[in-house]
Structure 1
Amino acid sequence: MTKITFIEADGTTVEAKAEPGMSVMQVAVNAGIAAIAAECGGACACGTCHCYVADEWVDKLTPPEDDETDMLDFVIDPTPSSRLSCQIAVTPEMDGLVINVPSSQT
């Protein structure tokens, strides 16, 4: 199992276990992270699973594809570490991944 830590906007930390192949969005929803609404169910069509990848992890993840980059243009408060959690597929190498949830989604 891969451990992912979510840091909510209020500082609450939630550790969740993930199976390889799940999306980070699925892990967040399963862990009860309410701010990851996932309204489109992972279709990269809404931006409600926007998250910030911790700086030390940004270069370790597969870069976003064009459709994700286009959708990130519409999220509130994007940063260079912004990603759509539905587009990050969990791998065993991601053990310890840290995801910050934007305050704009609370």
Structure 2
Amino acid sequence: MISLSVGRIVRTPVLATTFSWHKPVRDLQPVMINNSLKDRILLTSTRNHGDHSGDPGTIPVQFILKDNSVHDTLAREGEIALRLAQRHGIPMEGACEASLACTTCHCYVEDEKHWDMLPEATETEEDLLDQAPFLEMNSRLGCQIIITKELEGIRLRLPRATKNFYVDGHVPQPH
């Protein structure tokens, strides 16, 4: 924005106060590099990340809760584990709404077979996991686990507790 002040032009910074949303892209396919899951760059549609309507999913995923009860779910291809859990009422919090800024979606990948199939954690995820209570060797953040057909049958265990700097007990709703 440009404004005039005593006969001269002054540049005034403009703060964005609205968000611009893009139309969902529905037909993106995974891009394979060296034909392995670890080397995959997965492009997913926005529909998979927060949409509670539509297909229920076809990929079996188990969540093991704090009380050791097991919940069987069906994930959509490209859906993140956090959104899958929220869609099925599993208490995986996700206080930062999957923006990779907290540890409230911390979980454990139970089977080594599936652990080996996941891409390595990024440095940011590793740094956040260092702050998670009850950290284990098989710890990951649910917002960073992208469900694919190769991960069929993956078992994710929730930790005894998580640490939420927002408000204890607050569970953000996907939008």
Would you call these one fold, judging by a TM-score over 0.5?
A: yes
Report 1:1-106 matches (<5 A): 1-34=58-91, 36-56=92-112, 57-105=114-162
Q: Please give the alpha-carbon distance, in whole angstroms, between the structure 2 residues aligned to 1:63 and 1:20.
A: 19
| Deviation digits for residues 51-70 of structure 1 (CA, Å, limit 9, x no counterpart) | 00013221121111111111
| Deviation digits for residues 36-95 of structure 1 (CA, Å, limit 9, x no counterpart) | 111111011011000000132211211111111111011001011000000011111111
Q: Please give the alpha-carbon distance, in whole angstroms, between the structure 2 residues aligned to 1:67 and 1:21.
A: 21
Q: TM-score, normalised by structure 2?
A: 0.58
Q: Please give the alpha-carbon distance, in whole angstroms, between the structure 1 residues aligned to 2:115 and 2:66.
A: 19
The equivalent residue for 2:21 is none
Q: Please give the alpha-carbon distance, in whole angstroms, between the structure 1 residues aligned to 2:74 and 2:145.
A: 15
Q: Please give the alpha-carbon distance, in whole angstroms, between the structure 2 residues aligned to 1:7 and 1:101.
A: 6
Q: TM-score, normalised by structure 1?
A: 0.93
**After the TM superposition, which segments of 4 or more aligned residues of structure 1 sit over 4 Å from their partners?**
none
Q: How many residues align?
A: 105
RMSD: 1.3
Which amino acid counterpart does residue 54 of structure 1 have in structure 2? E
Which amino acid counterpart does residue 99 of structure 1 have in structure 2? L
Structure of greater relative contact order (alpha carbons < 8 Å, 6+ residues apart): 1
